[in-house]
Amino acid sequence: MHQHHNGLKTAALLGGMFALLLLIGALIASSTGRPVFIFGFALVGLAMTAYGYWNSDKIAIRSMRAYPVSPQQAPQLYRIVEELSARARQPMPRIFVAPTETPNAFATGRDPQHAAVCCTEGILRLLDERELRGVLGHELMHVYNRDILTSSVAAAVGGVITSVAHFLMFFGGGSRENRANPIALIAVSLLAPLAATVIQMSISRTREFDADEDGSQLTGDPLALASALSKLETGISRYPMNPEDTRLQSTAHMMIANPFRGERLANVFSTHPPTAQRIARLEQMAGGQGRSEVGFF
Residues assigned a catalytic role: 139
Query: Residue 292 has what DSSP assignment?
Result: G
Residue 47's contacts (CB-CB under 8 Å, 6 or more residues apart) are none
CA atoms within 13 A on the CB side of 178: 15
CB 101 within 8 A of CB 123: no
SS3 state of residue 96: strand
CB 248 within 8 A of CB 63: yes
Alpha-carbon dihedral 37, 41, 42, 44, rounded to 10 degrees = 140
Q: How many whole angstroms separate alpha carbon 190 and alpha carbon 168? A: 10
CB 112 within 8 A of CB 118: no
